[in-house]
Amino acid sequence: MAIEIVTVPDLGGAETVDVIELCVAVGGSVEQEESLVVLESDKATMDVPSPVQGVVTKYLVADGDSVKIGDPIAEIELSADATVAEEVPVAAEEPQAEPEIKAQPPQQKQAATLSTEQFALVPDMGSDDKVEVIEIAVAVGDQIEEGDTLLVLESDKATMDVPSTQTGTIKEIIAKEGDKLGTGDKVALLEVTTNSAEAVDAAAPQPQVAETPAQAPQVEPPKPVAPQSTSAPVAATSNDAYAGPAVRLFARELGVDLTKVSGTGPKGRIQKDDVNNYVKSALQSGSNASGGAGIPQVPAVDFSQFGPIETVKLSKIQKITAQNMQRNWLNVPHVTQFDDADITDVEAFRKFLKAEGEKRGIKVTPVAFIIKAIAASLAANPEFNRSLAGDGENYIQKQYINVGMAVDTPRGLMVPVIKDADKKGIWDISADIITLATSAREGKLKPSDMQGGCFTLSSLGAIGGNGFTPIVNSPEVGILGVSKSQIKPIWDGAEFQPKLMLPLALSYDHRVINGGDAGRFMTYLVKILSDIRYMTL
């Protein structure tokens, strides 16, 4: 087997530089152009790429060594099919002040646009386990940007977005929901369009997560470029993190924001293991590795140090509910308004219907009247029957009235929808409640039973409590939380009367609903619940 000795290449003017990172373990394989070591002068850091493909059999330098041009760095045993590059450039990056390293000759820029087909792959997940695809986030024909989520994977511990490492168009989606994928599996085929001049400009190698099919045009490997003098960064981005190109590429593949990763290398430089450890700890704490829009993560706690514990798997429904609740809580500016409705007469009427209900085999509970009243209030206050359009420029006014109903089931919270509630009477609504709540508890709801809701009711009346603030079920804009009715003394102008009062809490999306709209909706709802003759109008 042939051995290649890799030496320190032309440093572009610097006399000596320090070795600050050995990128490949001894015995590890290295691709041509993959970083072998990182060197640092007092002005800039440089990755030294391997000129050949092979196995690193020995490093001839150690972390912290000072080296100069021509010094041997490593021994590489060549792969059988390896070819030696004529000249391997140093990719310099991140100068920290005015660089003294001489500029290399500028590359000739070509204005041509290169279009290649590349596979998006599952990035290294830090283990050999396969995890399930729970959501495909793109469709064929979608234009996507680097960083856009392609699909969502779910392990035992957490869900993880797989971001695209390229900007382009989705040609084909290879993965399906329910597939089990592992590191390197194909997700989708992208048509990637690159301005060739930009490609030549880029100091970092092309991301390796995308495979280039044989027939695709090849993009020239990156050539050395002079370190650019940088102006002060405006905001902390991954570009500001202290890491080499190989680590940056690795972090991009995993969707990791490097500004959140602590570096354990010399002078706090972030190394590949630091990124791995960050992802592992994010997965263990059940958080999204990308840090959830910059929101600080709750640290993982070993509760067993305080007493006996049991770790219980979340059901699929519980996990989806958790994601939806967090998404809605973070996206929707919530306001909650409170009132009590006098349902003394409704309750008397409900009891009056009991005998008839027994004949029909339908039990009428207060929930049927509340749903009927919500439907009437939506008709009278159409602001609550809107959703914000995805473009942020429009809202959608719905002309149908479907009311979702939160159902507490042993496997988690489900929200089936009572369709056309405005067109249904109390018997039909009661029958729907029974059918849907039973199906939900038995796990027999169809997807269509849970789609198309305009507004949601969350009733804890049968359980208890004075009030709670429900979370809007976005993209709906309103939700009514109902608590347990109680007899209360209500002043009628002459004396206190015992009245059955129903506590109501209306949460709404303040982007779509104003306080005045909410006040009118609630006042109308209270009025018709207090006197159901209004429901007939």
Residues that bind ligand CAO (CB under 6 A): 365-367, 405-408, 413, 433, 437, 458-462, 482, 484-485, 502
- Token pair 């009427």 is at which residue? 349
Q: Which residue has the CB atom at the shortest distance from ligand CAO?
A: 461
Q: How far is the CB of 461 from ligand CAO (least distance, A)?
A: 2
DSSP structural state of residue 277: H
Q: Which residues pair with 5 in a beta bridge?
A: 75
Q: How far is the CB of 433 from ligand CAO (least distance, A)?
A: 5
Q: How far is the CB of 325 from ligand CAO (least distance, A)?
A: 8
Q: Smallest distance, Å, CB 489 to ligand CAO?
A: 18
Q: Which is nearer to ligand CAO, 122 or 479 (CB)?
A: 479
Tokens representing 168 are: 């382009």
Cα distances (angstroms) measured from residue 90 to each of 10, 240, 381, 434, 438: 8, 21, 67, 71, 67
Pair 152, 162: CB distance under 8 Å: yes
Smaller CB separation from ligand CAO, 433 or 512: 433
Q: Which residue has the tokens 């040609």?
A: 171
In the sheet that holds 54-59, the strands lie side by side as 3-7, 72-78, 54-59, 29-30
Q: Please state the closest distance from residue 366 (CB atom) to ligand CAO, in A.
A: 4
Contact in structure between 173 and 136 (CB atoms under 8 Å): yes
Three-class secondary structure of residue 352 per DSSP: helix
Closer to ligand CAO at the Cβ: 181 or 479?
A: 479
Q: What angle do CA 51, 54, 59 make, to 5 degrees?
A: 75
**Nearest distance, CB of residue 200 and ligand CAO, angstroms:** 55
Q: Which amino acid is at 344?
A: T
Nearer to ligand CAO, 154 or 408 (CB): 408
DSSP codes, 199-236: HHH--SPPPSSSB--TTSPPPPPPPP-PPPPPPPPSS-
**Among residues 377 and 485, whose Cβ is nearest to ligand CAO?**
485
Q: Is 334 a catalytic residue?
A: no
Amino acid at 19: V
Q: Which is nearer to ligand CAO, 286 or 461 (CB)?
A: 461
Residue 285 token pair: 């704490």
Give the nearest distance from C-beta 442 to ligand CAO in angstroms: 13
Alpha carbons 84 and 115: distance in angstroms, whole number: 28
- Give, for 517, the enclosing helix (H) or strand (E): helix 515-530
Residue 205 or residue 481: which is nearer to ligand CAO going by CB? 481
Q: How many CA atoms lie within 13 A of 483 on its CB side?
A: 16
Residues 6+ apart with CB under 8 A from 312: none
Q: In whole angstroms, what is the distance from residue 210 CA to residue 222 CA? A: 16
3-state secondary structure 397-444: ECCCCCEEECEEECCEEECCEECCHHHCCHHHHHHHHHHHHHHHHHCC
Catalytic residue among 510, 520, 527, 534: 510
Report d(CA 388, CA 474) in Å as an integer.
9
Nearest distance, CB of residue 248 and ligand CAO, angstroms: 42
Residue among 61 and 482 whose Cβ is closer to ligand CAO: 482
Catalytic residues: 510
